[in-house]
Amino acid sequence: MESPLDADQDSVTWVVEHRVRTSRIARFETWLGGVKAEVSRFPGWQGVTILRPSDHDGPTAVYVLVIRFASYADLKRWEGSAERLRWLRELQPLVVAAPMTRSSSGLETWFQLPGGIAAPPKWKMAILVLVAIFPLVVLVTSGLGLVASGHSAIGLPVRFDAGYLTRTLLTAITLVILMTWVAMPALSRLARRWLHPGTEPTS
């Protein structure tokens, strides 16, 4: 099952889950090395992290591939390629079901829905995050100002007026934009070893 992503030009992460027959793990590892080499030759490919199963005791073992592309167009180019279809045909005898896939980027992981429903466009998510952040910033700074006898932590007076609300709104908008399109995508890549210890990052 696949969740389509809004067709923009931001980097995108493609998560693929394979349920591998335990008796075919060695052949799957060989297949995995081949498909990694294949996808790495496609434009926009940025790397892949492999989450291997901790044990192989049951009849199946779950492998998760986290593949990063520079844009949604790059992902679709790989997804619709003849090369990928060929590798999928070779995969069929090694797994118990078709791969489960989903796409996400930026703050979309905050809005993942059950049942494979697509995440909403990032501009909608950014607006919703802004609606949450703005009143929180107002309440927190105002509360701290009351505790500090009307002054913020840096000694500036806190006045609940139009100028203060405007500055706070602009600050919240700036923070949401930076989080959605800059900070979270970059931190997700930089912290992948910490978030998923024991995995295999390939860039």
pLDDT, tens digit, for every residue of 160-169? 677 777 877 8
Question: Is residue 38 helix, strand or coil?
Answer: helix
The dihedral sign for the CA sequence 97, 12, 64, 41? positive
pLDDT score for 44: 92
What span, in angstroms and rounded, lies between the C-alpha atoms of 185 and 107? 8
pLDDT(7) > 50: no
Read off the pLDDT of each residue in 177-186 and give the average, rounded to a whole number: 73
pLDDT score for 108: 56
pLDDT, tens digit, for every residue of 109-138? 555 444 444 555 667 767 777 777 778 777
- 91's tokens: 């995969």
**Residue (of 53, 55, 63, 116) closest to 94 by Cα position:** 63
Read off the pLDDT of each residue in 58-79 and give the average, rounded to a whole number: 88
